[in-house]
Amino acid sequence: MSLRKNAVLEMPSGVNHCAKVNVLEEEIVREIKSLWTGPDTDVRTALVKEMVGSVVRLRDLDTDVIDVKILHRALKELRYAFRVFRQYREVKKVSIFGSARIPGDDPNYKLASQFGKLLSQRGFMVITGGGPGIMLAGNEGAGRENSFGVNIMLPFEQAPNAMVADDKKLVHLKYFFTRKLLLVKESHAVALFPGGFGTLDEAFEVLTLIQTGKTHPIPIVCIESPGGDYWKRMMEFLEQQLLSRGFIHRSDLALFKVVYSAEEAVEEIQQFFRVYHSLRIVRDTMVIRIHQHLSQAEMTQLNHEFSDLLTDGQFQQVEALPEERDEPHLSHLSRLVLHFNWKELGRLRHCIDWLNARAVAI
């Protein structure tokens, strides 16, 4: 649908409010009729129809007003945010998390600024929560033109920072769940600096989504200024309290890397995409898309070293599958297909690292 956002404001000044509302309602009805009577030309049209149906069913008297408010606000915020990010779809982005309370003279603030600058110099954009502290530092380093702000509305400390305030790439959100969805959905990598509850919440959210296969693998770097022990203590906790009790696998610790310089962090992110491009699930098959064709010897080694990733069969190298016709811009990439053991997401990261070490950098 293509409803005019400012339809009410565009009416002649002599028309009263009720008339303006009636005209807008008529336009909405026309758009819905057009949607409903038109052909289901694509998946998106069919899904929009289902969404409209779901909204209509909210008129059920048993639906609480607060529930309707939550759905309404979340849908409006996400629709607007998707539009903001859409025009930058082809640019890789890195989400930066860290404390809002770190002052400008803190070594980690300076490190975050340097990190943002290096990312922008190498063609990345950055996404932050749009607030102070580490978020401001990351936006400062990357510059306004290379920065997004996904700002959460709080009663304290979270007004948009000066680098993203009033920028077209700033999005205001009421709910943490929509904010976290965007910070993960739109990111090709995540950088974690020392922080409080919010930072750790975001860190474990991303790790959980990757560990459970709810989002595709991305590089996660935990960054700290030299001499700090924030991530060292965190690693001790993970090993002594989670790993030792069998709550996580040893391979799950491969989902992130601890670094102590901006250069090492950026190199880790770039290395991740050196050969590996992306993956897609087609029916019961995982499709790993890579920039370079593997030799027969490399395929033999791959099947030997990562047989634990297979539920049956072997890794096979193929061309684009018919089901990938909706992504013609990726048809030139080589594919590795396999029946994947979903209990081994940490080992999948090992496999990606192995692939990236195989061939000459592109």
Nearest to 238 by CA among 279, 268, 207, 269: 207
Q: Identify the pLDDT of residue 74.
A: 94
Q: Which residues are CB-contacts of 261 (< 8 A; sequence separation ≥ 6)?
A: 111, 226
* pTM of the entire predicted model: 0.86
Q: Identify the pLDDT of residue 16.
A: 61
Positive or negative CA dihedral for 159, 161, 162, 164? negative
Nearest to 138 by CA among 188, 100, 175: 100
Q: Identify the pLDDT of residue 144.
A: 96
Sort 4 into a burial class: Cβ within 10 Å, 0-12 / 13-18 / 19+.
exposed
- In 10 A of CB 186, how many CB atoms? 20
pLDDT band at 15 (very low <50, low <70, confident <90, very high): low
pLDDT band at 27 (very low <50, low <70, confident <90, very high): confident
Q: Identify the pLDDT of residue 157.
A: 55
pLDDT band at 4 (very low <50, low <70, confident <90, very high): very low
CA distance linking residue 182 with residue 95, whole number of Å: 10
Q: What integer best gives the mean pLDDT of the chain?
A: 90
Distances (CA, A) of 32 to 27, 29, 120, 219, 220: 9, 5, 43, 42, 43
Q: Identify the pLDDT of residue 127.
A: 97
Q: Identify the pLDDT of residue 242.
A: 97
DSSP structural state of residue 239: I
Helix H or strand E encompassing 98: none
Q: Identify the pLDDT of residue 2.
A: 43
| Residue 7 confidence (pLDDT) above 50 | no
Query: 264 vs 360, which has greater pLDDT?
Result: 264
What is the SS3 string spanning 151-218? EECCCCCCCCCCCCCCCCCEEEECCHHHHHHHHHHCCCEEEECCCCHHHHHHHHHHHHHHHCCCCCCC
pLDDT tens digits for range 213-268 = 999 999 999 999 999 999 999 999 999 999 999 999 999 999 999 999 999 999 99
| Residue 50 confidence (pLDDT) above 80 | yes
Nearest to 191 by CA among 284, 93, 102: 93
Using N-to-C axis directions, what is the helix angle for 345-356 and 262-272, rounded to 10°?
Answer: 90
Contact 265, 115 (CB under 8 A): yes
CA distance linking residue 93 with residue 81, whole number of Å: 15
pLDDT tens digits for range 279-322 = 999 999 999 999 999 999 999 999 999 999 999 999 999 999 99
Q: Identify the pLDDT of residue 11.
A: 45
pLDDT band at 19 (very low <50, low <70, confident <90, very high): low
Q: Enumerate helices (H) and strands (E) in the chain, giving the number of each.
A: 11, 11
Lowest mean pLDDT among 43-47, 193-197, 207-211, 313-317: 43-47
Strand order of the β-sheet with 170-173 is 170-173, 147-152, 125-128, 93-97, 189-192, 220-223, 257-259
What is the mean pLDDT of the segment spanning 321-343? 95
What is the mean pLDDT of the segment spanning 147-162? 83
